[in-house]
Every structure is written in C-alpha cells, then in structure tokens.
A and B are shown apart, each in its own frame.
Chain A
Amino acid sequence: MDYPVIEFSLLGNGMVIGLVAFIHVLISHGVAIGGTAMMVSLEYRAYKTNNKRLDQFARTLSKWVLIVTTTAGAITGVGIWFTTMVITPASIGSLLRIFFWAWFAEWIVFVTEVSLLLLYYYTWDKWKGAKKNIHLRVGYALVGFSWLTAAIITGVLAAKLTPGLWTETLSFWNAFFNPTYVPSLLFRTFIAILLAVSFISIIVKMRVKDNALQQEVFGVFGKWMVVTIPSLLIFGVWYLFKIPEQAYDQVIWSTGMEPLVFTTINILGLAVLIIYALWAIKLPKKVPVILVFIVWAASIGFVGEFEMVRESVRKPYVIYDYLYANGIPASKAEEFSEEGFLENWTFATVDEVTEETKYEAGRILYEAQCLACHSIDGWRSRRAFADRVAGWGEDSLADYIETMHISRPFMPPFVGTEEEREALAHYITSEVDQANGEVAKGGDEQ
C-alpha cells in the first residue's frame, strides 16, 4: 500500500499482469527451458546417429530459440516486474526485500544463460567435426543454466502461497526452501518439456517435409513423454498435498468450472497426452496433424490452469498470512480501521469523510483496496462491479463490505472506519449506476 494508483481500465489491472505473465510462462518454460533441452537432445541424437538433417533441424531450432527468448521471452520476464511494479507495488516491493539475493543470483544465472545461448548459436558452424563435442558441452551447460533460472524463481513463486517457516523466522532460506518448492520445481520442469514437445511437434508437422526426419524427431519426443506424463501426475499431486487447506478447497472454484467439468477436462487432457506419447513411439512416421494441435492446446491449457490456480488460491493474500492481495499488510488492518485508512495513506487527496468529500474519499478507497483485482466495468464479469453489485443500493453494499471477508474467505477484509466504508459503498454504487445507465441508454439508442 501507500503508493499512487493507476488503472488500466481496458483489460483490468489484474489481467495486465496475468497476460504478460502468461506469455512469459509459455516462452520461459516452453522455449527457454524445454525448447533448449529438446534442441540439445536432438543435436545429441544427430551426433550419435551421424544424422546431418537432424543436426540441421536442431540448428534451425536454435535460431528460433535465440530469437524468441531474447525478445519476447526476456522482455516479458522483465515485464512481469514492470507490470507488478506499477499495479501491485507493495507486493513486488516486499517480495524483492525478502528475496533480494535470490534475484541477484538469478541475474548472474541469466547473464550466463544468454551468453551461453549466444555462444551456442554462433559457434554451430564453427565447432564441427572434432569440435562438435565442445559445442554439445556448451549445449549441456545451457540446458543446466536455463533450468537453474527456474530453480531460483520457483523459490519466490512458491513462497507466495506457502511461505512456511519464514512467517516465524523471516529467514531467507526458510522462505526459499518452502513446503511447495520441490514439488513446484519438478512439476514446472516437466511442464516445460511438455510445452516444448507440443510447440516443436507443430513445427515438425507443418514445416518438415522429410518423413525420415519427422520420424526421428517424434521418436525422441515419444521417449521424453514417457518420462514426462507420470512425472507431471506425481509432482502435481504432491504439490496439491502441500498447499494450505483453505487454498486446496479453492482449487476447483478458482478455475471457474463445475467440479464435474473440471475433472472431465483434466482427464481428457491427460488422455490426449498419453495417446500422443504412444503414437510417437509406435508410429512416429504417422503422427496426425490434428493430434499435434490438440496436444498443443492441452499443454497450454495445463499451464494456464496451474498458473491460474496457483495465483488464485493464495487469496486473500499475495504473501500468505502477511500481505493481502491489495498490498495492505494484514498486521495493519486493525490499526488503520481504528485510525482511519485515509489518514494513513500518503497519496490520499482527502483525509476525512464529509458530505463534500464522500465521493472522492470513496474513489481513493476503491483505488487503494479494490482495484488490484476489480474494476467498475469491463469484460471480466466476475470482477466487474457493474455486474456483481448492480442494483444493490448503498446501504446493503456497505453492510456487505463489512463482512465480505467472512462470507467470502478469499476476499481481504475492508480496512477503514465505518464512514470510510460508507464512502466506498457510495462511490461504487454511483459508478455502477452510471456505468449501467450508460449501457442501458446505449442499448435504447440501438
């Protein structure tokens, strides 16, 4: 808290962070980690079987790994930071204070990773023949360092949901090696392989005309999938057993699906992966195009589900037990409710609620406490007040706000005095009425 507020009304603030983060997850896992591993394992296979065409395919892959990771991959990575910095500054600021040295180490690993990738790409044609061995070793190191980037950042991501002993000791190591660290890291590792296999399969199907080459690549991928599918299951279940009970109860809810739909979709997704693996091993010559696309969609679906669940079930916290999703430290809630929130907020333009300042005070409270997840209007109807509280009236909304964290455990409590709570209800209802009024008017005109 205590920072100025910005609103991205088109997408909604939460969606801006989510969008950049999701693109980054797809690239960092699917291309930087998994893609690199696949590229090097194809080069290794080409070397062992003396297959020139496979070597050339791996070389082409390396060009695309280089282009994608050093543009959209790297920039969306920094982008998660850029977006959180302006949208949820208190959360990212606190995380940086807890995990500074992890991020610093991450920096050194990043620089090494990019240097190795540049070396790997630009020496492909130079280090041939007897020197191919050195090239492969650069490749192994590259795979190791790209995995290490995940090994470090996973400590931070997992700690948001399960800070473990950190909440008693404030120790960096307790926060880093938290209860979900190992299962998340292993789960992410295999998610990376799954994504890479599904991305590259499409490229193979669409761009590689040579049937023998297709067969070689799918053969390698089939083997990878045999290890990947059971690993995903084992580590996924292990992860679920390690998250807090309240979070566990929210898993299915957080996806917005009915339990039956959730189960069916996940089982179907898994079945598709198994079919793909069997097909790639038994009939690598004839992997159907449609299957490749379904696997691609399923793997993106799994990643999206995992990230959405992980980010949703930690609610109402952004750092479990310490910081609420809107950036207010849980410990300050009581103090601010007694003294008044506006009084304590640096960027407040009014510091008490009067008849004249009621609307403005409400606006400030809305921006400071709701905006991190909600919007007045917008396309995400679960988050938009214009849908959620249409026709509620100021008083019932004010009453609801008082106890919403009890009836809806994933909501942080409102922090402020009674007058401030009424001001917030006043602001939201006026804005919602206006938004809905305009929609109705627009509808009439049509």
Chain B
Amino acid sequence: MIFQSVPVDLELAIPGNWTLLMILLVVSFLMHIVFANLTIAGAFYAVWNEIRGMVKNNPVYDQLASQSATMTSIFKSIAVVLGVAPLLLVSVLYTQYIYPATIFIGEAWLNLLWILIVAFLLLYLYKFSWNRLKNKGLHLTIGLIGTMMLLIVPLIFIVAVVSMLYPDKWAGAEGFFHSLFYYPQIWQRYFHFILASFAVTGLVMYFWNKRKLTQRTKLHAVDGKDEVAATTENVKEDVKVYEAGKSFGMQAAFWTTALQLVIGPLVLFSLDREVRLLYLGDDVFLTSLLSISTLLSVVLIGMLFMLMKTEAKKWLLSSLTTLVLVIGLMGWMRHEVRESYIDPHRAENPPTIEQQPIQIGDMMIE
C-alpha cells in the first residue's frame, strides 16, 4: 500500500494548554501504570506462592498467596479507572497517531475487552474460592489462566503505543501478531515493564507485611496475656505469613531491579540511532535524564541490598523514595522518547492547537 501516512488533524482544537495537558498525561499515566504493575505482578505472585505452598506442603506460602490475590483484586479495580485519564489525554493530544495505531491492530484492541473481563472474573473467583474450593489443582488453574490472560494485556497496549511512533512503517503492518515482530522496541519494552511490575510489587509486599507484622506484634504484646491459646496460635501463624511476605517481597524487588540493569540498556538500544544518540550526549537535557535515572537505579539496588541485610527502617524509606523517583523519571523519559519520534511528523502534519473558523450547518463559527 502507498499512502501519505499521518492523517490531517481534526478541525476542533485541542481543548487546553498544550504543556498542562502533556504534564497531566505523564502524571496520570504513572498513576495508572503503578497500579497496573501491582495487578499483574500481584496475580503472578499469588499463583507462584500457591505453587510453592503446594510443592513444599507449607500453608504459610498458601496464605501469602491468598494475601496477594486479595490485594490484586483491589488494585486491578483502581488500575482500570486510573487508566481512563491517560487514554483520554493520549487520544486528544496524539489523535493523528494513536487512532491509526489502534485501528491497525483493531481486532486485538477489541479483544482486550473480553480478555480483561474474563481475567478479572477468574481472579475474583480465584480469590473468593480460596478456602472454599477443596480441589487445589482446579483452584490453581483458575488463577493461572487469569494471570496468563493478564500477561497478554500489556503486550497489546505496547504494540499500540510503539506503532504510533512509526507512521512510515504503517503501510507494511499486517495486524497484531505481525506487528509484534515488525516494530522495534516491543519485546524490550514488554520485559522492562514486567520486571518493573515484579520490583514495585515486591517492595510494596515487603512494606505491607512489615507494617502488618508491627501491628500484629504490638497488639499481641498489649493483650497477649489474656488471649486464649488458640488466638496466640493464630498470631503465630500470621507472624509466619508476614515474615514470609517480607522476605519474598524483598528478594523479588532486589533481583528484578538488578535485572533491569540488563533490560534497560536493551530498551535503549532498540531505539532508532538518532533518538538513542539524543540520550547519549546529543541532547544535554535527555542525557541528564537518562544518567540520573540510571544512577538512581544503581543506588536503589544498593539500598535494597542494605535493606535485605539490616531491615532498618531508614533503608526502607529511602528505597521507597528512590523507587518513586525512578518511576517518575522513567515515565518522563518514556514521554520524551515519544516526543522525539513524533516531532518530525508534527512539523508536516500540525495538530489543531488554535481553533480556526469552522462551518456548522450554514453558519461559519469564528
């Protein structure tokens, strides 16, 4: 097919200050993606720990898995509603790019709907049937299918947001599966995202279980003497679960963040040469962004290591703060990459920023 690739923008102007809307896009996307991280890795950890519990015949892991499944069912609801704003903003600001990109993978794009509905329903079933369903194998299968379906979701979104960067390649694209290997960056970005999900969720798991542990032991210390033996037994059980959650979350956060040192550069090298070089010296601002975030990631790994060794509160707080900073910088860079790709096209196909007179009915509206 031969066509001039980027559509003419709509007649109606983009309704707001360009910079403000761009900032809202980056911020709202980050809010959404953190909950998407927690949902996907949460579901994965639930299944993983349920398997560990079955293999080692240890109920502690099973309860830890159940904790992840409950958290996931809450996070996923928030992830979905938080996603409305970034989708709205990207549609309004990048109309000429995101619409063709989704239309080219239209079938996969609409398949997202039933994939998400079925996956979410399965994960509810997984959570609500935890203690009721006696057939553990069946229970695990429900969670496993739900999780596998969730793992497909980011792939479809990534194809959409990557293919919108390559209008020159649109003519050669042949649907979703073809696009998976046709456009650069896709798998690198996918694994970058999945690893980030594991890391963020790991740290949140550590944080959550540490808090619970403190609360539980305090409670127990206050009225422990009067409690009946059974309750003491319960507290002991809970403490075991929280300890396991802390240790699992910490290990997961540390190792997956460390692995990003391999995947991160792969993402960088999947970018077109001209864009990559912007981050490697050609553009002072972008180079600083990349350097600072790389440096902070290394610092984060160090902090996580110290946290593993000492379990000191100061390392937890500093790790969390650094993680938030790194996530913020990554979101910002992701936006800058998109801008670097789209800028040249924008010059030729300008978006409608100022409202020009338009005709409605028989009237010309100034």
Contact = CB atoms under 8 A, between A and B. Distances in A.
A6 B106 contact: yes
B109 A86 contact: yes
Interface in A326-360: 329-331, 346-349
Contact of A75 (B6, B12, B74, B80): B80
Interface in B77-115: 77-78, 80-85, 87-88, 91-92, 95, 99-100, 102-104, 106-107, 109-110, 112-113
Nearest to B16: A100
A167 B364 CA distance: 10
Interface stretch (A110-118, A217-225, A283-291): A110-118
Q: Which of A70, A72, A94 has the most CB of B within 10 A?
A: A70
Nearest to B105: A86
A167 B363 contact: yes
Given A75-B113, A75-B116, A167-B360, A346 B4 contact: yes
A174 B78 CA distance: 32
Contact of B120 (A71, A104, A122): A71
A224 to B, nearest CB: 27
Contacts, number: 162
A322 interface: yes
B3 A348 contact: yes
A16 interface: yes
Interface stretch (A76-84, A258-266, A306-314): A76-84
B92 A90 contact: no
A331 B84 contact: no
A412 interface: no
A321 interface: yes
Contact of B85 (A85, A87, A104, A169): A104
Contacts of A72: 117, 121
A56 B238 CA distance: 28
Interface string B157-184: 0000000000000100000000000000
Interface in A92-139: 92-94, 96-98, 100-101, 103-104, 106-107, 110-111, 113-115, 117-118, 122
A277 B109 CA distance: 44
A329 B3 CA distance: 22
A92 B87 CA distance: 13
A100 B363 contact: no
A3 interface: yes
Nearest to A100: B15
A85 B91 contact: yes
Interface string B1-15: 111111110111111
Nearest to B170: A4
B19 interface: no
A321 B16 contact: no
Interface string A51-90: 0000000000000000100111011101101110111011
B152 interface: no
A438 interface: no
A205 B166 CA distance: 57
Nearest to A113: B81
Chain B interface secondary structure, helix, strand, loop or mixed? Answer: helix
B103 A20 contact: no
A101 B77 contact: no
A111 B82 contact: yes
A17 to B, nearest CB: 10
A1 to B, nearest CB: 9
A399 interface: no
B2 to A, nearest CB: 6
Contact of B3 (A101, A111, A347): A347
Contacts of A104: 24, 85, 88
A78 B102 CA distance: 14
Interface in B221-248: none
Nearest to A108: B85
B271 interface: no
Interface residues of B, number: 56
B7 A74 contact: no
B100 A82 contact: no
B139 to A, nearest CB: 18
A238 interface: no
A330 B365 CA distance: 14
Given A2-B7, A3-B100, A107-B81, A97 B13 contact: yes
A114 B88 contact: no
B88 A103 contact: yes
B124 interface: yes
A98 B87 CA distance: 16
Contacts of A83: 110
A74 B76 CA distance: 11
Contacts of B83: 78
A349 B2 contact: yes
Contact of A114 (B14, B81, B112, B170): B81
A406 interface: no
Interface centre among A72, A78, A97, A348 (most CB of B within 10 A): A97
Contacts of A20: 113
Given A76-B113, A348-B3, A349-B2, A3 B99 contact: yes
Contacts of A348: 3
A330 B363 CA distance: 11
27 contacts: A3-B99, A6-B107, A8-B110, A70-B77, A71-B121, A74-B77, A75-B117, A78-B113, A79-B110, A82-B102, A82-B112, A82-B113, A86-B106, A89-B103, A92-B91, A96-B92, A103-B88, A104-B85, A104-B88, A106-B84, A111-B78, A111-B82, A114-B77, A114-B78, A118-B78, A167-B363, A349-B2
